[in-house]
Structure 1
Amino acid sequence: MLNRRWQKSSYSGSSNACIEVRLMGGLVALRESDDGAVVLRAAPAVLADLLDAIKAGDLDQPA
């Protein structure tokens, strides 16, 4: 991801209900497309660990 502009998934279409991502100072920045004022930043390795945990279901809570 070399582009410094906010990017969102092509699956989002024209919807504003998605997460956008970009690089900021060596960190990965995330924000909601409909509320750009709140930006979360994480090191790429930390974000990768979070995504792995989500995919594995490690963060799922029982209903």
Structure 2
Amino acid sequence: MDSPVWQKSSYSGANNACVEVRTLSGAVEIRESDEGHLVLRTTPIALAAFLHALKAGEFDHHA
């Protein structure tokens, strides 16, 4: 189901510096609210794999 409206986390509150997400034409689009013209587009499967890797700490050595 497509949601052309950008959504942000409820943890962001009134803060405008947050990550927003939406689905469009079977893809997931992600942007930073203060850089709205830059959009990352990916598939739901690729995003799920990326989030799983983040939670597993696979990128911690970059911090």
After TM superposition, the score normalised by the length of structure 2 is 0.90
For structure 1, which runs of at least 5 residues remain unmatched after alignment?
none
The aligned counterpart of 1:54 is 54
Deviation, structure 1 residue 29: 0.1
How many residue pairs match? The answer is 63
Query: Deviation string for 1:5-42 (max 9, x for gaps)?
Result: 00000110010111000011110000001110100011
Cα pair distance change 1:25/1:2, threshold 3 Å:
closer
Q: Which has the higher helix share?
A: 2
- State the partner residue of 1:6: 6
TM-score normalised by length of structure 1: 0.90
- 1:22 paired to 2:47: no
Determine the structure 1 residue equivalent to 2:43.
43
- Report percent identity of matched pairs: 56
